[in-house]
């Protein structure tokens, strides 16, 4: 969708949309059109009892005394950024019904103009790549949005970094939607190599190199697959002020069959999304590069496929992680933590980050506990928890801190190794057990947050600015965190 901003003026044809706050009077241009149509707008508002509340609209078709096709009064409720963004959901639900391809919106402020355009970019998304039959494809797609506002240049300046984030969200969604026969470790790595055009440095570390580094915990997960396990490093340098980057680690299990601890079919059908953490980190790095964020950031992706075969890892196998700690693999379906622990050690020893965040579709238990709209977080740093919680509130990508220590540490006791990879009491504290496992790989008190996105990476019904399917959760959250807490204010 092409987005452009124009000076305040009424269009003479097509579809015009007025963005209206709750209980606010008609704007100057809306009042002008109301007079021109002999009160059609105000009468329609009275009949529909329209007040400008979010998730409501009034649709006037071919209003008299104009050449316009439609006039839509769209409720945005308030000038709050998220309210304006989410008002786009209401409009998107009518795109096909109203046959909207090119629309002209009238905004009250430059900020409202930018955030409405951003909301439309987030909401107007469908993954139709593999739909070849015409009846299955979208019947209508928004092609052009023109937003009229007081200062188009100011609105454009506000919009451009938001557009970069929207592009990052789209990258994440596209990667998660792709089937596992299209996105597997080698093809994911190749996609990342193409991101050099956005200003990212990309390094691919192969299985032999990881073996030399001692990353046998990660390598054990993928040894049953025909696809080579890979580690991809995405580096963005936005400032020369500090050599210490912020690090983001992503679990990239491109398909998780469970390995020899085979999942039931119903659980396996959605396991192409088990690389959601790596997809989110990739989208975030694209967003930072495209908006030229004033920060240094590292993305580290562990790309593996967890498959059963005669070469696959067995329950009760013992592996030695890069940290030197040994792990008894009691459940080959608790594989994400085996990938992440080696990424954590590699990242800390190689890049010495000032803070480290890992993202993973790690446990079904977090979905049971927190649902599809809140991610579980685990951390060794109270200040980071406060910061990421505030960012989540601002973006409405919520997080909730879950506990570590105590009984969860005891549940990792192994009879033969330093630890086991699942709890020794089935179905007890699954998310916290996984978080506790990862916490054992923190070195030198590196500030760390683990984000379990197993519930939030995918939505079955759709959420505000998140159409059904892959949500892109985490890109907006972490971009906000970086912008407010880590990014230098002066370039």
Q: Which residues are catalytic?
A: 263, 337
Annotated ligand binding at 251? The verdict is yes
Q: Contact at 8 Å (CB) between 221 and 185? A: no
Annotated ligand binding at 335? The verdict is yes
Annotated ligand binding at 102? The verdict is no
Annotated ligand binding at 89? The verdict is no
Annotated ligand binding at 397? The verdict is no
Q: Residue 77 and residue 20: Cα distance in Å, rounded?
A: 7
Token representation of residue 62: 């071919």
Q: Residues forming the annotated binding site?
A: 251, 256, 274, 333, 335
| Residues annotated in a binding site for Mn(2+) | 251, 256, 274, 333, 335
């Amino acid at each position: 969708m092409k987005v452009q901003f124009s000076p305040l003026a009424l269009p003479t044809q097509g579809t015009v949309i007025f963005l209206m706050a709750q209980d606010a009077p008609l704007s100057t241009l809306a009042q002008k059109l109301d007079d021109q149509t002999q009160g059609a707008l105000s009468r329609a508002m009275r009949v529909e009892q329209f007040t400008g509340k979010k998730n409501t609209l009034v649709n006037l078709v071919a209003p008299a005394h104009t050449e316009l096709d439609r006039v839509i009064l769209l409720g945005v409720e308030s000038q709050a950024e998220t309210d304006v963004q989410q008002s786009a959901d209401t409009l998107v639900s009518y795109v096909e019904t109203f046959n909207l391809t090119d629309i002209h919106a009238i905004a009250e402020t430059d900020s409202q103009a930018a955030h409405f355009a951003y909301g439309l970019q987030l909401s107007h998304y469908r993954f139709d790549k593999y739909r070849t039959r015409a009846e299955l494809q979208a019947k209508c797609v928004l092609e052009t949005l023109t937003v009229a506002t007081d200062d188009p240049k100011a609105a454009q300046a506000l919009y451009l970094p938001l557009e970069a984030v929207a592009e990052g969200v789209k990258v994440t969604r596209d990667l998660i939607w792709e089937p596992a026969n299209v996105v597997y470790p080698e093809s994911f790595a190749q996609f990342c190599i193409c991101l050099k055009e956005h200003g990212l440095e990309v390094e691919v570390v192969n299985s032999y190199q990881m073996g030399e580094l001692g990353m046998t915990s990660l390598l054990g997960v993928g040894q049953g697959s025909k696809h080579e396990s890979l580690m991809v490093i995405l580096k963005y340098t936005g400032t020369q002020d500090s050599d210490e980057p912020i690090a983001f680690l992503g679990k990239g299990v491109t398909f998780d069959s469970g390995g020899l601890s085979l999942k039931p079919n119903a659980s396996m059908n959605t396991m192409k999304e088990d690389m959601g953490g790596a997809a989110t980190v990739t989208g975030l790095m694209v967003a930072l590069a495209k908006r030229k964020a004033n920060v240094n950031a590292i993305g580290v992706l562990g790309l593996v496929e967890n498959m059963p075969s005669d070469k696959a890892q067995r329950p009760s196998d013992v592996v030695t992680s890069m940290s030197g700690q040994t792990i008894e693999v009691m459940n080959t379906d608790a594989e994400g933590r085996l990938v992440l622990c080696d990424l954590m050690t590699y990242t800390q020893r190689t890049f010495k980050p000032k803070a480290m965040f890992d993202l993973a579709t790690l446990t079904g238990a977090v979905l049971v506990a927190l649902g599809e709209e809140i991610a579980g977080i685990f951390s060794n740093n109270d200040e980071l928890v406060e910061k990421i919680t505030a960012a989540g509130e601002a973006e409405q990508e919520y997080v909730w801190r879950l506990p570590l220590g105590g009984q969860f540490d005891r549940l990792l006791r192994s009879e033969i190794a330093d630890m086991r990879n699942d709890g020794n009491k089935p179905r007890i504290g699954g998310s916290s057990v996984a978080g506790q496992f990862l916490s054992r790989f923190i070195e030198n008190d590196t500030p760390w947050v683990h984000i379990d996105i197993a519930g939030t990476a995918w939505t079955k019904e759709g959420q505000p600015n998140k159409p059904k399917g892959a949500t892109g959760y985490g890109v907006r959250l972490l971009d906000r965190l970086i912008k407010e807490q880590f990014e230098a204010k002066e370039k």
